[in-house]
Amino acid sequence: MASSSSFLSEEQLRYSICLDVFTDPVSTPCGHNFCMGCIKEYWDNCSQTQCPVCKEIYHKRPELLVNTIMLELSDGFRKSQLIKTHTGVQQMIQDRQRKIQEIEESVKFRENSTEEEISASVEIFTGLLRFIERSQDELLEVMNEKQRAAERQAEGLIKDLQQEITELQRSNSELEKISHTEDHLHLQQIYPTLCSPPHTKNWTDVSIDPPLSVETVRRSVCELETSFRKQMEKLTEIQLNKARRHAVDVTLDPDSAQTSLILSDDGKQVTHGDKRQNLPDNPERFNPCVCVLGKEGFSSGRFYYEVEVRGKTDWTLGVARESIDRKGMIIMSPINGYWTVRLRNGHEYSVCAGATVLLSLSKKPQKVGVFVDYEEGLVSFYDVENSRHIYSLCGQSFFERLYPLFSPCLNERGINSAPLIISPVTHTD
């Protein structure tokens, strides 16, 4: 019958039997250490008494004594491990307490933020409702006043017509009477008067003013639309101010910059140069696309930054995920890990949202704000100086770190030579 030792691996036999800290450690005559219980059980199940490590055979089972030095070391190790475990448990408790505090503070912050948003929303919608009601009242008043004016006009016309009818009826009666007279002398005397028709008005082209046209309603709706636009601008200003609270310090990453891009010493400006610089083509570097990323990446929360685009005819701004392809031709779209807005030819604005979305902007942005809410899957772009919302990419899914993306585009022989400038964000309440 095979002994139990034959089922033990070489590694187990070399170091220990139970692979645990020694309990009642003893030493064999050959100098190896084992737990007293483990070595006795091992020998009880072996056909001969031998050392599990060096295989030395003992013709007589050795008398084993506790190795006091090893016992002290084992107890010290156990105590050290207990202290370490105790410290670790305490640290876990503290970490969880901090996490509770963090969650509570986050909920409180969200509650305050929600209250601000509710208050702003109520104010805006209340203003809109009041304006709608006032516009409706004013339109109804105009319509009713025009109706009353038409009724007064009709009353006057009817009165004039009735007066003329009365005159015509009197004249008709006189003509009827005189037509039967036998007094020819009298007939000759009054003939000139009776044969002249009574003085009356030409009523052919007289009519009541037409009812209100669609133009009146359209004009009222246009005024309402103007008010809506103003309220939307006010809402955008509120959103922009809230986004600015999440401003981060962004610095350009020289290791990612395409070799013809020139970065300022402080890492806040980038422009396209005429020649490529002799730089290593490391994996992080864009080539040949003239792009550069920010050094700082974000994998949670909200962040916002602003970029001055003044004087440029072409540029691209936004965010990109860490694993994007940086070599060869790049198609910037969310499916490829890019969320961007761009300007081309000095006036053609668009967003890369899968299919290209052309934008109609009434004013040319001089400074663009980029806001990201990682958990909400939101990327929004703003015209900072005019407090206008440019576009928002909603319902996106982020699973890795996002980096700010910048492309000043080609300088086009000096036409587009102005730099992109990362601007400090001015906080407003």
Torsion sign (Cα): 386, 387, 391, 397: positive
Mapping DSSP to helix (H, G, I), strand (E, B) and coil, where does residue 307 land?
strand
Q: What is the DSSP string of 401-416?
A: -EEEEEE----TTTTT
Q: Would you state the structure tokens that stand for residue 333, as one six-digit string? A: 């779209």
Cβ neighbourhood burial of 128 (10 Å; 0-12, 13-18, 19+)? middle
C-alpha span between 315 and 261 (Å, rounded): 13
> Residue 336 — left, alpha, or beta (φ > 0 → left; ψ -120 to 50 → alpha)?
alpha
Per residue of the chain (429 residues), give pLDDT as tens. Answer: 344 333 433 343 344 577 777 888 888 999 888 888 889 999 999 888 999 889 999 989 998 888 888 888 888 888 888 899 999 999 999 999 999 998 898 888 778 878 877 887 788 788 778 878 887 888 788 888 888 888 888 898 899 889 888 888 887 887 777 666 666 666 666 666 666 666 777 888 777 777 666 666 777 778 777 777 777 777 788 889 889 999 999 999 999 999 999 999 999 999 999 889 999 999 999 999 999 999 999 999 999 999 999 999 999 999 999 999 999 999 999 999 999 999 999 999 999 887 889 999 989 999 999 999 999 999 999 999 999 999 999 999 999 999 999 999 999 889 999 999 999 997 655
Q: What pLDDT is attached to residue 370? A: 98
Residue 413: what are its φ and ψ, rounded to 5°? Answer: 55, 40
Cβ neighbourhood burial of 25 (10 Å; 0-12, 13-18, 19+)? buried
Is the bond preceding 52 in cis, omega lying within 30 degrees of 0? no
Residue 427: what are its φ and ψ, rounded to 5°? Answer: -80, 135
Torsion sign (Cα): 229, 231, 232, 233: positive
What helix, strand, coil percent values describe the chain, rounded to 5? 40, 20, 40
Contacts 24+ apart (CB under 8 A), 10-18: 13/52, 13/53, 14/53, 15/53, 17/42, 17/52
Q: Would you state the structure tokens that stand for residue 101, as one six-digit string? A: 């505090």
C-alpha span between 183 and 282 (Å, rounded): 130
How many residues are present in the chain?
Answer: 429
Start-to-end CA distance of the chain, whole Å, equals 86
CA distances from 407 to 184, 244, 418 (A): 111, 22, 12
Q: Would you state the structure tokens that stand for residue 145, as one six-digit string? A: 């006043």
Mapping DSSP to helix (H, G, I), strand (E, B) and coil, where does residue 429 land?
coil
